[in-house]
């Protein structure tokens, strides 16, 4: 019998999310977690953000297992993991979106496969756990007019670093950057002569993204005025990052999130976060006639399948396209 991800019960018992460090602080899981995290960090060479995601997933897994009375990896059964998947999808529990559920189940499968391969457990309880079919909801985007309001929201009345903030918003929309990429990009990765940016994305994949004149001008203004005054040749503290805090230190991803949310509120926009700017970048490219493969390169997607979610924007143009090009279309 295969233990699949099934629909949750109609009224699942609510289980609280596990706090950070749950797995590491649970005696029965401490050594197993330490060995696994060392493996993905040293042998697999995963990025810090990816490693942190694995850790959060395993904290949630162990927290749920503890609630079911399971205190060691050796005691985990396929039934426990099947119930855990139901917990992930439960509307009264985590209510994870499908992409996050798929990722979490992948973490569980890799974790127990590693433990079994290293003879830390006699059987692999996740061997029959299948990943659910991954579907994607239509990404949330905002119109060019709303984007203009967001980008123009930073002003002298909104903090000392409003020039930096506008440059960040301009760049995120102009280059389709993730929040983590905005914080990690360095000064020498910006090429003003060709108005292009070198970005290291997920999986350490490098891509070159051109940006438009408004973003280039905003970056130049930030670099030549506020950043120059803040850093004052102390590039070691700034870690040569393109964007820094008021104290001259690199910006964390959470700061980028807060910045976008702040100006979205000022602009009167709702449900806007960094990835909405990335979604809008891709959507506007396709709406303007850019081909899917080029958008894939700009976004740094490994597969064009990931990029295909943005083709929804072209559906509104289908009748117009067919009417224009098909010789037998009834006008």
| Catalytic residue numbers, as ranges | 178, 202, 275, 278, 301, 310
Contact 105/5 with Cβ under 8 angstroms? yes
SS percent in the chain: helix, strand, coil, step 5:
55, 5, 40
Residue whose pair of structure tokens reads 């905005």 in the numeric block? 182
What phi and psi, each to the nearest 5 degrees, are found at residue 239? Answer: 55, 30
Closest CA to 107 of 48, 68, 55: 55
Task: Report CA-CA distances (Å) from 208 to 31, 198, 330.
Answer: 42, 5, 44
CA distance 301 to 65: 34
Contact 215/175 with Cβ under 8 angstroms? yes
Contact 24/30 with Cβ under 8 angstroms? yes
CA distance 163 to 220: 10
Q: Residue 4, Cβ neighbours under 10 Å: how many?
A: 12
């Amino acid at each position: 019998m295969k233990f699949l991800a099934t629909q949750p019960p109609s009224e699942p018992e609510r289980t609280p999310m596990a706090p950070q460090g749950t797995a590491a602080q649970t005696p029965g899981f401490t050594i197993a977690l330490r060995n696994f995290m060392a493996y993905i960090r040293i042998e697999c060479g995963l990025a810090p953000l990816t490693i942190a995601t694995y850790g959060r997933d395993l904290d949630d897994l162990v927290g749920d297992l503890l609630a079911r009375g399971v205190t060691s990896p050796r005691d985990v059964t396929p039934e426990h993991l099947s119930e855990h998947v139901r917990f992930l999808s439960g509307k009264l529990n985590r209510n994870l979106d499908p992409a996050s559920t798929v990722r979490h189940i992948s973490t569980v499968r890799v974790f127990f496969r590693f433990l079994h391969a290293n003879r830390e457990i006699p059987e692999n309880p996740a061997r029959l756990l299948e990943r659910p079919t991954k579907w994607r909801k239509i990404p949330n985007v905002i119109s060019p007019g709303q984007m203009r309001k967001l980008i123009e929201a930073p002003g002298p009345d909104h903090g000392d670093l409003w020039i930096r903030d506008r440059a960040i918003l301009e760049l995120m929309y102009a280059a389709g950057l993730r929040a983590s990429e905005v914080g990690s990009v360095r000064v020498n990765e910006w090429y003003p002569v060709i108005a292009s940016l070198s970005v290291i994305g997920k999986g350490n994949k490098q891509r070159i993204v051109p940006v438009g004149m408004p973003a280039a001008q905003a970056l130049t203004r930030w670099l030549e005025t506020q950043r120059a005054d803040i850093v004052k040749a102390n590039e070691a503290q700034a870690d040569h990052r393109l964007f820094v805090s008021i104290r001259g230190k690199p910006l964390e991803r959470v700061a980028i999130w807060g910045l976008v949310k702040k100006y979205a509120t000022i602009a009167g926009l709702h449900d806007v976060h960094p990835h909405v700017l990335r979604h809008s970048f891709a959507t506007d490219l396709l709406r303007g006639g850019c081909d899917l493969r080029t958008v894939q390169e700009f976004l740094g997607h490994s597969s064009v399948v990931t990029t295909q979610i943005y083709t929804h924007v072209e559906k509104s143009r289908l009748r117009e396209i067919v009417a224009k090009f098909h010789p037998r279309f009834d006008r």
